Amino acid sequence: MFNQEYLPCNRQIHIKLSDKELKLIRDRMEQMGFKNMSAYIRKMAIDGYYINVDFTAIHDLAKMMCIDSRNINQIAKAANTYGWVDEKIIADMKAEHEKVLETVKEYFDKLLEIM
């Protein structure tokens, strides 16, 4: 996965760890999705960091935006079919749309803080 050119790993180093340190390494390894401790330790020793991105928030935003766009399409269809749309429906839809936009803005503001 990380070793694009296969190079045989024929050198060893030995380190001593406490039980607590070993547990921390295994926990972080699991959080990052590594199954091979040797690969994880090599990656961390060479690069010094590994970024594991959780896309759950983006998935939730995408769902919100899909619902929002469906609502807009339904209003457009009703307007084209009947020639008018109730003002309350438009006001409610606008309020929901503004909530979605605010959520998107908050998410991207958090991303900018990280970078």
Residues 31 and 69 in one domain: no
Residues 48 and 25 in one domain: yes
Q: Quick: pLDDT tens for 44-102.
A: 888 887 677 778 888 888 998 999 899 889 889 988 998 888 888 889 888 988 998 89
Provide the pLDDT for residue 1. 47
Least Cα distance to 68 among 35, 104, 36 occurs for 104
Provide the pLDDT for residue 24. 93
Identify the domain containing residue 30 by its residue range.
1-52
For the chain, what is the domain count? 2
Provide the pLDDT for residue 66. 92
Q: Is the pLDDT of residue 41 over 60?
A: yes
Provide the pLDDT for residue 109. 87
Q: Is the pLDDT of residue 6 over 70?
A: no
Residues 82 and 105 in one domain: yes
Residues 64 and 86 in one domain: yes
Residues 13 and 42 in one domain: yes
Provide the pLDDT for residue 115. 65
Residues 43 and 7 in one domain: yes
Q: How many CA atoms does the CB half-sphere of 107 hold within 13 Å? A: 16
Give the per-residue SS3 of 89-106: HHHHHHHHHHHHHHHHHH
